[in-house]
Structure 1
Amino acid sequence: MADHDRKDIDDITGTETTQHEWDGIKELDTPLPKWWLYTFYGTIAWALVYTVLFPAWPLISSATAGVLGYSSRAEVHEAIAEHTAAQSIYTDRIAELSIDEVASDAELMQFAQAGGAAIFATYCSQCHGAGAAGVQASGYPNLLDDDWIWGGTRDAIEYTIRHGIRNELDYDARLSEMPRFGADEILGAEEIAAVADHVLSLSGQGEGNEDGAALFADNCAACHGKDGTGNHDLGAPNLADAIWLYGGSREKVIESIHYARAGVMPPWNEEARGASGLSDTEIKQVALYVHSLGGGVEAAPEE
């Protein structure tokens, strides 16, 4: 009989060994406790039963359904449906009322702002930042200040969110186009520098430039106004408040005049975006949230 076929019993404990030895130390082949073995066998039996009763084995495009027909996704959808139904006492009213009427109802406004904050975090914070402060020099506006290119009333903000800016998905997107004064050779480099000096002087940055003022009057005032305070209807920014979307250094202002700016914002209505869009109620909610951040105005100025 070969040595490995013989049992090797430890002299001290009387327990069979595994016949493995390291430096004179032998490994005991101590049997597992019965309770441990029974538990192990029980888990195997439970696993087999589970794979029959519940979804378990992955297939190419799905998984085995299980005889009980349980679906965690269906359970989640059911919970969402129940939650949506519970919220309908508020969302139905928001859908029926104008955005200003919602703002005048304290209870609805509280609900709308809470929902709007969640919507903003999901869909808007990637560009405007989690705190809505935007990213200067990258063209993502700060929504906390009181500087609005297209107007800061609730209606104006709602329209901007609904249709977006300079996008190709929505026919009603806000649209304006600044001439590329340098790239299209409308003005020379020295003229652009003079205009930049004048523009900076409008907000108290620099002493100004007479030639730049004349060029501004001829080429820029039609949109930005004689005093440079902008025009919401045309999407022309206020140049006199020292708030700059793409940076306010002389170099950045010259760059803006030379190449122009044309930031794009997508529309968020369902008609333009389909399933990835926001409902009318959700658009009102996020518009009310943005308006409440501190920079929104109550109404458009009277003409």
Structure 2
Amino acid sequence: MTKREIDEVSGVETTGHEWDGIKELNNPMPRWWLWTFYATIVWAAGYTIAYPAWPMISSATSGVLGFSSRGDLKAEMTAAETAKQDYAQTIAAKSADEILADDQLREFATAAGAAAFKVNCIQCHGSGAEGSAGFPNLNDDDWLWGGSADAIYHTIAHGIRFEGDPDTRYSEMPAFGDMLSKDEIRQVSSYVASLTGNSTDEQAAAAGKQVFADNCASCHGDDGTGDREFGAPNLADAIWLYGSSEAEIARQVRTPRHGMMPAWSARLGDTTVKELAVYVHSLGGGE
């Protein structure tokens, strides 16, 4: 029988292993740790019996409980899709303004519209709908044809200057470079700039007021605040699509630029267009 060696310092039996004069002490694991370890083994064995665990050639053991995470996910997705369809059917039957009046529908439509906006609209209007030169900011209060949910819906559904839709929004400013002299264009540009305090030539602005009355007031109004019936923008606020300097205004008077927005109704369907209208309305500029 081999005599057990006891370490003189700790009084603990050694295992007999020694490395470079260092001897390994035979300290057993605590009882509670061992019982916990045994319990995990029992638990693991029970788990592999109750739940899917062992891989087979083309599948896995199903477990006596018949649990399936894929089955649970499919059931949840089916339930979510059913609820989504219920909301979508209700949205399809209501106008955009009616959707706004229903808290649950508005919340659902806003979330769905935000997702559709990220896929279809940010390329022009930006991820935050802040717009850029030539593409309107959808967060402000400037709306050519009105900022109600129904008005926004019509714009999205039928587009702007989109030839493929007979109900498209349409307005076109004539090129005054062929109708007004260079001085008249300079004068009217100075006057328009003066409506927001940007004019630097008071004499030119005074002369341009009459040029404006003779050529521009019929669409933009006598005070330059615009006319939604014609889609004529408000020239008396601080919001400009192509720039507010006198040179930029003169360029627009001389050879105006006209943007185009496609009609989305045929591409996305009426329900998604309503959801987009509700979302855009919710950005803060909607009326």
Q: TM-score, normalised by structure 1?
A: 0.67
Match of 1:293 in 2: 283
Say yes or no: does 1:118 pair with 2:108: no
1:218 paired with 2:210, answer no
> Structure 2 residue aligned with 1:236, among 224, 232, 235?
232
Deviation above 4 Å: which 4+ runs of structure 1?
78-83
Structure 2 counterpart of 1:168, which letter? E
269 and 81 in structure 1: CA distance in 2 versus 1, 3 angstrom threshold: farther
CA-to-partner distance for each residue in 1:141-163, whole Å, 9 max, x for gaps? Answer: 00000011121111110000000
Structure 2 counterparts to residues 1-303 of structure 1, below 5 A = 83-136=80-133, 139-182=134-177, 185-206=178-199, 207=202, 209-270=205-266, 277-297=267-287
Percent sequence identity is 51
Which sections of structure 2, spanning at least 5 residues, go unmatched?
1-56, 59-74
State the 1:81 CA deviation.
Answer: 7.5
User: What secondary structure does 2:97 align onto?
Assistant: helix
Q: Which has the larger radius of gyration?
A: 2
The DSSP-based 3-state class of the residue aligned with 1:209 is: helix
Whichever residue aligns with residue 100 of structure 2, its letter is A
> In structure 1, how many angstroms separate the alpha carbons of the residues matched to 2:130 and 2:117?
13
The number of aligned residues is 216
Question: Which residue of structure 2 lines up, in the alignment, with residue 72 of structure 1?
Answer: none
- Report the Cα distance in structure 2 between the residues aligned to 1:85 and 1:252, rounded to whole angstroms: 53
Do the aligned partners of 2:109 and 2:275 also contact (CA within 8 Å) in 1?
yes
Which stretch shows the higher mean deviation, 201-210 or 235-244? 201-210
User: Following TM superposition, by how much is the alpha carbon of 1:79 offset from its aligned partner in structure 2, in angstroms?
Assistant: 9.8
Specify the code of the residue in structure 2 equivalent to 1:192. I
* 1:122-145 Cα distance to aligned partner (Å, 9 max, x none): 101100000000002xx1000000
Whole-angstrom CA distance in 1 between matches of 2:123 and 2:280:
15
